[in-house]
Structure 1
Amino acid sequence: MSTLITGATSGIGEQLARQYAQAGETVIACGRNQEKLNELAQTDNIESCQFDTTDLEAIRSSTADYEQFDRVILNAGNCEYIDDARHFDSALFARVITTNLLSIGYCLEILLPKIKAGGQLVLVSSSVTYLPLPRSEAYGASKAGVSYLAKSLAIDLQDVDVTLVHPGFVKTPLTDKNDFPMPMAVSAEKAANYIIKGVAKRRKEVHFPYRFTFILKCLRMLPLPLWLKLAKGLTR
């Protein structure tokens, strides 16, 4: 089995790479940080592939020698917040949308034809898509796009299984900079365990931790005006 993983140099992506490799699969670990990729490549069953997911031609050239994959996990992403919505930062918005959403389109163009018939495509979104949250205009919009994209692909792809991942809070270098509480946060290792188990069962959606995502899904059933009133209270 061969698995290509983007965003493999830290957090969930790194844990996925290490755990799949430990299970004996061939892992193509992708990322921008060549030093970290070199470190990963010292692990048995891991090969490194350096590219920036926002660069279509870099993806094309870096993966040209790979003919087929059993599984592709598009995990790379970033998170930035809109701190002052009244003075909207369009550059930040564009940066997050490009990194989290447009880059997946670039990866799909190059990598989707390389997935074997009967193979798997995994897109990592976020549980932020269940509800509008404070300061999440850019991040939430980008991840909502990922979720919709995955669901549409699940309809249109006839010979590739699509799994959509909705993590809750995960302790990673990316979330270390968050300046707010992260209820029920799990480790990157535990997050990888959830994903690997769900992907092995070819689930259409993997969400975790279950208690946290269950609460969000229940809150999603509230009338929008009521949720907006509650959410505004979180910003005070």
Structure 2
Amino acid sequence: MSTKSILITGATSGLGLSLFDDYAAQGHQVIACGRNQQQLAAMQSKASQVCQFDMTDKLQIEGAAANVESLDILILNAGNCRYIDDAKNFDGELFADVIQTNLISLGWLLHYFLPKVKKGGQVVFVSSSATLLPFTRSEAYGASKAGMDYLANSLRLDLVKEKIDVTLIHPGFIKTPLTDKNDFPMPFLLTSEEASQRLIQAIEQRKRYAHFPKRLTLLLKFISFLPSFVWQKLILKGSH
């Protein structure tokens, strides 16, 4: 197996940290990106490079990218999840914050890091199975991830001529510090280590699209084909 240069955003916790550990254990040159300076310092011995930046800050992204030479795989994993608890009194500030973090930032990450991806390389978008169906309180998070889906699928078409593959991932619930805050049942919950192994397999196979765990994602896909009044009733019932 050839050694690859792999950049991971959101590498300091959850799925990103598990991806970092797994790729580093395989002997790859892993560039860990995140905001947590203390955690990045702890990862430095295993990382080929660490980059500390806030994804919502264009200048910080630009500065970090200036120190990166070339990449085989760019994994866009970082993101945030916040919920709209009162739809009637819609929180525009919260909505803007989630869209900025999960979607707008991708534009700047691609602006500065995509030119560094080698011909024959790969860009990986870690989205969410939440885009398979509308869910309550998920107006901001779901919209940001649906935007990511379209971005990934469109970018794939335009990168064919560059011989760069795009992989879109729809994971289900993963136990992370982010999901630990959820106050609702999370069926078929995976550990970040389990999710990392599945994601790495999809990347190695250069899949255009991967979703897991299939017990959840196939169920959601099936429900989405039901008449709208049926799936809406199911969603509302499950939210109470």
For Structure 1 versus Structure 2, the TM-score category normalised by the shorter chain is over 0.9
Unpaired runs of 5+ residues, structure 2, are none
- State the shift of 1:46 in Å: 4.0
Query: Over residues 147-177 of structure 1, what are the superposed CA-to-partner deviations in whole Å (9 max), with x where a residue is unaligned?
Result: 1111111111122100001000000000000
Separation in structure 1 between the aligned mates of residue 208 and residue 186 of structure 2, nearest angstrom: 26
Aligned partner of 1:208 in structure 2 is 212
1:106 corresponds to 2:134: no
Q: 2:200 aligns with which of 196, 200, 222?
A: 196
Separation in structure 2 between the aligned mates of residue 139 and residue 220 of structure 1, nearest angstrom: 18
- State the shift of 1:143 in Å: 0.5
Aligned partner of 1:221 in structure 2 is 225
Separation in structure 2 between the aligned mates of residue 235 and residue 22 of structure 1, nearest angstrom: 40
Separation in structure 2 between the aligned mates of residue 206 and residue 74 of structure 1, nearest angstrom: 15
1:157 aligned partner, one-letter code: L
Unpaired runs of 5+ residues, structure 1, are none
Separation in structure 1 between the aligned mates of residue 143 and residue 228 of structure 2, nearest angstrom: 17
Identity percentage of aligned residues: 54
1:135 aligned partner, one-letter code: R
Aligned partner of 1:85 in structure 2 is 87
| Partner SS state of residue 20, structure 2 | helix
Separation in structure 2 between the aligned mates of residue 228 and residue 217 of structure 1, nearest angstrom: 14
| TM-score relative to the length of structure 2 | 0.96
Separation in structure 1 between the aligned mates of residue 48 and residue 137 of structure 2, nearest angstrom: 37
CA contact (8 A) 1:17 1:46 kept: no
| Partner SS state of residue 86, structure 1 | coil
Aligned partner of 1:152 in structure 2 is 154
| Partner SS state of residue 233, structure 1 | helix
Structure 1 stretches of 4+ moved >4 Å: none
Aligned partner of 1:23 in structure 2 is 26
1:183 corresponds to 2:187: yes
1:184 aligned partner, one-letter code: F
| Partner SS state of residue 143, structure 1 | helix
Separation in structure 1 between the aligned mates of residue 169 and residue 182 of structure 2, nearest angstrom: 21
- State the shift of 1:233 in Å: 2.1
Separation in structure 2 between the aligned mates of residue 227 and residue 156 of structure 1, nearest angstrom: 35
- State the shift of 1:225 in Å: 2.5
- State the shift of 1:235 in Å: 3.4
Aligned partner of 2:62 in structure 1 is 60
Query: Over residues 48-81 of structure 1, what are the superposed CA-to-partner deviations in whole Å (9 max), with x where a residue is unaligned?
Result: 1111111111111112022210000000100000
- State the shift of 1:190 in Å: 0.4
| TM-score relative to the length of structure 1 | 0.97
Aligned partner of 1:34 in structure 2 is 37
Aligned partner of 2:238 in structure 1 is 234
Separation in structure 2 between the aligned mates of residue 2 and residue 218 of structure 1, nearest angstrom: 38
- State the shift of 1:210 in Å: 1.3
1:37 aligned partner, one-letter code: L
Q: 2:12 aligns with which of 9, 13, 26?
A: 9
Q: Aligned-pair RMSD on alpha carbons?
A: 1.0
Separation in structure 2 between the aligned mates of residue 227 and residue 213 of structure 1, nearest angstrom: 15
